[in-house]
Amino acid sequence: MKAQDDDLKKLIIKLDELGLDFKITVLYDGYVCEGRNIYKDIQMILPAEENGWREFMKLKLEKKEEKSLISLFSKLIGYFPFCKYLKGENIVYEWKRRHQEERFHELIRISNKSDTSIIQIEKL
């Protein structure tokens, strides 16, 4: 639990440094962070840090794109998103440190199901 407490403190400091204010919900193996900027509600999901890295991150924005936000969140996680897609009324960006192709193909399979709300998947 101490490791997660330390990780949470680091996450809060990093978000603060980037000027991002979020309500953070601690999960068993990561975090859900919810906040708002001038234009939209924002939700991100990311795991606890391991060996200095967070393996993935999902960022859900209201339908308006915001390149400056993507740049900020890339600084938070340390690398750039590999894809984006529409899910309902939101744009979702995904960062994944490894196995990006597998995740991309998984999203395509999910989007091909008739009962899914994932559409317009795009590699970045």
Give the confidence band of 93 by pLDDT, cuts at 50, 70, 90.
very high
Q: What is the pLDDT of residues 55-75, one digit of tens each?
A: 999 988 876 667 778 888 898
From the list 62, 55, 61, 10, the residue with the least C-alpha distance to 29 is 55
User: Do 57 and 94 form a contact (C-beta atoms < 8 A)?
Assistant: yes
Backbone φ/ψ region at 13: left (φ over 0), alpha (ψ -120 to 50), beta:
alpha
Whether residue 114 contacts residue 122, with contact meaning beta carbons closer than 8 Å, is answered with no
pLDDT at 99: 94
Residue 91: which residues within 8 A CB-CB, separation 6 or more?
A: 60, 61, 62, 63, 64, 65, 84, 85
This prediction has a pTM of 0.85
Structure tokens that stand for 49 in this block? 């840090």
**Overall average pLDDT of the 87-104 stretch:** 92
Residue 39, pLDDT > 60, answer no
pLDDT tens figures, 40-58: 678 888 888 888 888 999 9
pLDDT (0 to 100) of residue 104 = 95
Q: Tell me: pLDDT of 15 over 90.
A: no
